[in-house]
Structure 1
Amino acid sequence: MTVGNFKARSHHLMQDQVTGVIVQAINQVRVHEEIVKRAAQDTAFKIAVEQIDKVRDFLSRPQNILGSPMTKHGEIAEQVEVGIRNAREALAQEAMTVSIDEVGRTDATDYFINGVAVQSKFINGIDNNLRHVLRHLGKYPGFTNNGSYYMIPKDTYEAIQILLNGAHAEGLKVSTEETIKALVKEIEEQTGKPFSEVVQASVVDYPSVQVNTVGSTLDNEQQYLAKKNEGLKDVIYRQHRPSWHEAGKASLVGGAVGGSLSLATSLYAKYKAGKNVFKGDFTAADWQEVGFDTTKGATGGAVAAGAIYLMTNYARMAAPFASSVVSAIKGVASLAKDSRNGDISFDEFVDLGMIVCTEAAIVGISTVVGQSLIPFPVLGAVIGSLAGKMVAEFTTGQNNKIAQRLQDDMVAFRSKLDGKLKEILATIMAEFDRLNKLSEAAFDFRLNTNLIDCSVDLAVAYGVNPDKIIVSGKTLERFMFE
């Protein structure tokens, strides 16, 4: 970037700002989607709790529950089954499939699941439970013909399965076990279907629906739902965190923008020189030059977009500020090269570098402090000091001699400022110091060969608990896919 072609900077400024807008849009889409999904999950949890509260409301009028104090658990079990199943489906943001309101309290059916009739049998004793199933089958012989089935306590069903698999069920006599097996066989013979199709397990055990325990059952279920809801929201949060994948997407978009703008600029420059691409005026050399410019623009746009993405998401920079910093870094790097080659003098390097960094300084001031807090008469001094600091920092590593001289000049300049201005400047400088070498790291392609190590360093720098930091590829793979 020599003095003669310094005007070309306007093209890079426009490209980087456009890229910044695109990156900001990518970030906003991700954040908006997270907000929407977390709100939807909270709504789902509210609906789930409402299903549990319906059961509590039913229990609040024990005089209306069918049966004696020893048998009321039968109708309680029906309400608990409906409430818990619907609550879990609501929390998963699925359609609630269990309905009971349209069923008569003494009908052959107790409730419907996915439109299929279900009869609930919660009887004390495994063999007694199966006898009540057979009794219902005797009264309604065609009950299971259309896919209808019976629901029995979860613990009862599990004990039966243990017996059917040839094992011994704890707490049962051998004679009782043989009776249970015979009853299972009779159910299968009467229905012509496997036991597992005719009889299924409830979501709760027999003891959980007793009059004196059902309150705790509902409380425990609501606690489970709350914990599950937080887990689902945490998944949403993790799915919408900034990622290397999205950074790559931003780089691709930035490359496309950079390539397109460079192509348009190059074609226009050729047109101004008297060559019209649509009239076949281009030679092979012209096409080669246009192709080089386009490729260079695409590469620069991709790198810029990736850097802006990292700065906006990991350093909390505003997109305009990040775009300006990217432009400033590229501009100072080009000027430093010209200075080393002897194309410009030190004074020219300083003057042009200050101009290059002025935009970033102005945007930075607006972002970090806010122009309303800075006395207008001293605004120029603040911008100048900040721009000088940026030139010095961006130059470090490229030409340490120049960087040191610039830093000395800035120290001398700031020493002449009054107390109020020094206070304002210190606030701004502190924020820039916090960003440290992030912009430098964003442009270092060598870092991409060891992303985990870099992310560990970044996490440590931000004070993340060491127990929560992923330090190996195996741990990262488990985190991503489990």
Structure 2
Amino acid sequence: MSEVTKMTRSTQEQAVASWVNYLNQVRIDRLLSSLQQQDENLLTALGSVHEAIRKINLEVVTANRGGQHGMHGFIAELAEVGIGNARKHILGQDPVYQWVNDNGPVDLLRDGVEIQQKFVAAGGRFSLGAITEHLQKYPDYVNNGGKYQIPADHFEMVQRLRAMPQEEAGKLLSRSSGGPSFTDWRRIDAFFQQGSIGIDSLEPSTLEYRDVQRGAYASTMAAEEHSLRSTDQSLRNTAYQESLPTLQEGASATLAAGAIEGGTAFVLAIIAKTRGGKRLREFDQQDWADIAADTGLGFGKGGIRGSSIYALTNFTATSAAVASSMVTAAFGIAEQANRLRRGEIDELEFIEDSERLSLEAAVSALSSFVGQALIPVPVLGAVIGNTIGAIMYSTVASSLSNREAELIERYVDEQRVLDEQLSAEYQELIQRLHESMSDYLGLLERAFSPDLQVALLGSAELAQRCGVPTGEILDSEEKIRSYFLD
């Protein structure tokens, strides 16, 4: 394989790796951007709730606005604005509610739609009685596009009773059950029979009637804050899941890598044929079969490379450049292993070729990594770095003279002889150590023998072997008696 061909393939391989790395980086950047934006969304949403609480405390509760029986209406208005806008903010959307606060026919504006809130439990009409009074004062309110907003629990009951036939209502509704009565049904039926407004002019509030009472709004807003945090965490989890590698993206990387490497193999195969002296129009069936085989092999290797790089970069702590080099080295070593099995090379050549392939792959990875760092342009930096690194490595590798190569070979032979010599000396030392240990264990066995006479002689021999002076060894009855009694 010529140096140009090797460089072309190496550059193409690192280009594929850099492209896969770019796909991964895009997903990571998108995740980081989403999380950063979500930080701002959460802060703004909580700020909307806190601002509503502040206004309720200062402008309604402290000022006793609306008195004992009407205060909850103003609390409902501010709570609706704060919570409604917060739920938009947490999704990264613009606020929709505006508090009018002029004691006029409109309490709130939502994207330009006028809203009149009615939170009234008196009279058992589920806030419909208050709507009737408002319509009498402002008869054109609905015709002008206005909406009436009532507590969520009131709206649910109104819908339920309005859809219930009279016969069924008379049978099922009773005060004894703790639910609505037949009288409640007749009031709601009469309201809609008047024909002033339809159910489409009503809408439920975010809150229920009990949520906006003076003693309950604090816990209501606290629960909403907790809900916002839960929504925020869910959005973050969704963003994280969307940033994970997918089978579809992996398949795309596999096909693209296969197409790139197959295309490169196709071009190189044609160039190799033309260098042999043939023109393109002179290619016969066998030539095109050879080109097709090289192209198919390139496509297969490219697919393996793409899927392997995608898996290694996403599921292990491996950079794209290193992953590509690992795949390249694996292909090269597998090819050398086949040559070894066929007897084309011996074991030493196999090892040397494998080392060379690994070194070239490492140089390619390092060059691409440095190039991408110095030229932070996707793919381009890795390609330039790999090209420069390959040229430098080729220049250095080919600069060794025959004399230097012979010196290296002689050094390897000397190291092999030295290794054999050291191995023989090591075996001799092991044998001597084994013999010494056998003698020592024999002495210990005699020194601690149950037979006193054998133990006495064995202990004396052991002491002598350990370097104790002969005069100090208790090896007779006289010495023992003299040592203990004199």
Same-fold status (TM-score > 0.5): yes
TM superposition shift of 1:193? 4.5
Provide the residue aligned with 1:21 in structure 2: 18
Given that 1:254 and 1:305 are in contact with CA atoms closer than 8 Å, whether structure 2 keeps it comes out as yes
Provide the residue aligned with 1:198 in structure 2: 201
Larger Rg: 2
1:336 match: secondary structure: helix
TM superposition shift of 1:353? 0.7
- 1:460-479 aligned at under 5 Å gives the runs none
What is the letter of the counterpart of residue 113 of structure 2? V
1:212 has 2:215 as partner? yes
TM superposition shift of 1:165? 4.3
1:93 match: secondary structure: coil
1:230 has 2:233 as partner? yes
Quote the Cα distance in structure 1 between the aligned partners of 2:239 and 2:39.
12
The CA deviation string for residues 330-365 of structure 1, in whole angstroms up to 9 with x for no partner, is 111111011111111111111101111224556889
Quote the Cα distance in structure 2 between the aligned partners of 1:127 and 1:159.
10
What is the letter of the counterpart of residue 349 of structure 2? E
Provide the residue aligned with 1:429 in structure 2: none
Show structure 1 runs of 5+ residues with no match: 368-408, 417-482
CA 1:63–1:150: 2 relative to 1, 3 Å: same
Provide the residue aligned with 1:314 in structure 2: 315
Provide the residue aligned with 2:27 in structure 1: 30
The CA RMSD over aligned residues, in Å, is 3.2
The CA deviation string for residues 307-330 of structure 1, in whole angstroms up to 9 with x for no partner, is 011111111101111111101111
1:153 has 2:151 as partner? yes
CA 1:161–1:320: 2 relative to 1, 3 Å: same
CA 1:328–1:319: 2 relative to 1, 3 Å: same
Provide the residue aligned with 1:50 in structure 2: 47
Greater Cα shift, 12-21 or 355-364:
355-364
Quote the Cα distance in structure 1 between the aligned partners of 2:98 and 2:290.
72
Quote the Cα distance in structure 1 between the aligned partners of 2:17 and 2:35.
27
Quote the Cα distance in structure 1 between the aligned partners of 2:35 and 2:204.
33
Provide the residue aligned with 2:336 in structure 1: 335
Provide the residue aligned with 1:68 in structure 2: 67
* Aligned-pair identity (%): 27
CA 1:83–1:172: 2 relative to 1, 3 Å: farther
- 1:432-471 aligned at under 5 Å gives the runs none
Quote the Cα distance in structure 2 between the aligned partners of 1:249 and 1:309.
10
TM superposition shift of 1:26? 1.0
Quote the Cα distance in structure 2 between the aligned partners of 1:172 and 1:198.
32
Show structure 2 runs of 5+ residues with no match: 369-415, 424-486
Provide the residue aligned with 1:392 in structure 2: none
What is the letter of the counterpart of residue 265 of structure 2? S
The CA deviation string for residues 66-93 of structure 1, in whole angstroms up to 9 with x for no partner, is 3113321101101111111111122122
What is the letter of the counterpart of residue 94 of structure 1? Q
1:254 match: secondary structure: helix
Provide the residue aligned with 2:398 in structure 1: none
CA 1:55–1:276: 2 relative to 1, 3 Å: farther
TM superposition shift of 1:133? 1.0
CA 1:331–1:128: 2 relative to 1, 3 Å: closer
CA 1:287–1:128: 2 relative to 1, 3 Å: closer
Instruction: Choose the corresponding residue for 1:178, options 176, 179, 182.
Output: 182
Provide the residue aligned with 1:99 in structure 2: 98
CA 1:193–1:128: 2 relative to 1, 3 Å: closer
Quote the Cα distance in structure 2 between the aligned partners of 1:153 and 1:228.
23
CA 1:179–1:338: 2 relative to 1, 3 Å: same
What is the letter of the counterpart of residue 356 of structure 2? I
The CA deviation string for residues 208-266 of structure 1, in whole angstroms up to 9 with x for no partner, is 11122111111110110001110111011011112222211111121121122212222
What is the letter of the counterpart of residue 77 of structure 1? A
Quote the Cα distance in structure 1 between the aligned partners of 2:126 and 2:349.
98
TM superposition shift of 1:95? 3.3
Quote the Cα distance in structure 2 between the aligned partners of 1:175 and 1:274.
98
TM superposition shift of 1:203? 0.9
Provide the residue aligned with 2:268 in structure 1: 265
CA 1:128–1:330: 2 relative to 1, 3 Å: closer
TM superposition shift of 1:151? 0.9
Quote the Cα distance in structure 1 between the aligned partners of 2:64 and 2:272.
87
The CA deviation string for residues 283-324 of structure 1, in whole angstroms up to 9 with x for no partner, is 333333323222221221111010011111111101111111
